[in-house]
Amino acid sequence: MDALRTIFHFLHVNYGYRPEEIVSLFMLFNQIRLKQGTALIEEGKVCNAIGFLLKGLMISSFINREGERIVTRFIDDQGNRFIFDFDSFTNRIPSTESVTAVEKCVVLMINYENYHDQAIHFPNAQKIMVELTTMILKETNERLHDLHRLTNKERIIKFMKVQGHLYNRVNKADIASYLNMSRNQLTRLMKEL
């Protein structure tokens, strides 16, 4: 599987893990299959694992005070594949978001206990966690800046350039939520492009 080769290469090149160490590390992971609509992380529950999406598409979201679902992130097999709530996972507190499969997914998972086992035997484990968290925070920060500095039309253009491959895979209401606009605005502006 290409994703496994990517992880293998990443760990070998960036962290100097030897092939036998990477194989030992992979033994701590489980591969799971998720049906469409299955939540991997549930808002209000502690995140007990870190996932790496091998195949499929997932959405990270939360329910706001008005009861509306707000989409914060798309996780797909062509972009950032890591699935976890850092604060919930490390501090053992309830997650503030849910991550749900939009379509059938295949995910590599390492649970909390195995992660801590791994941290003892693999000295770069904490460094990898910090880098993953930093990567997700950078994406989130860029998205927040875009929400405040770009017009609706500019956000759609950027979405189509960066994540356009998702347009026909995701419900348009979810895309509109992600872009912080109504579905009607998204539809109208898409016709203008």
Q: Contact, 84 vs 130, CB < 8 A? A: no
So what's the pLDDT on residue 120? Answer: 67
pTM metric for this prediction: 0.83
So what's the pLDDT on residue 183? Answer: 94
So what's the pLDDT on residue 9? Answer: 74
Name the stretches of the chain with pLDDT < 50: none
Task: Compute how many other C-beta atoms are within 10 angstroms of the C-beta atom of residue 171.
Answer: 12
Question: Would you give the distance in Å from CA 52 to the centre of its chain?
Answer: 8
So what's the pLDDT on residue 82? Answer: 83
139-161 tens-digit pLDDT: 888 888 898 999 999 999 999 99
So what's the pLDDT on residue 2? Answer: 65
DSSP structure string for 9-56: HHHHHHH---HHHHHHHHTT-EEEEE-TT-EEE-TTSB--EEEEEEES
Q: Contact, 54 vs 8, CB < 8 A? A: no
Query: What are the chain's domains?
Result: 2-149 (2.60.120.10)
3-24 tens-digit pLDDT: 667 777 777 777 777 788 777 7
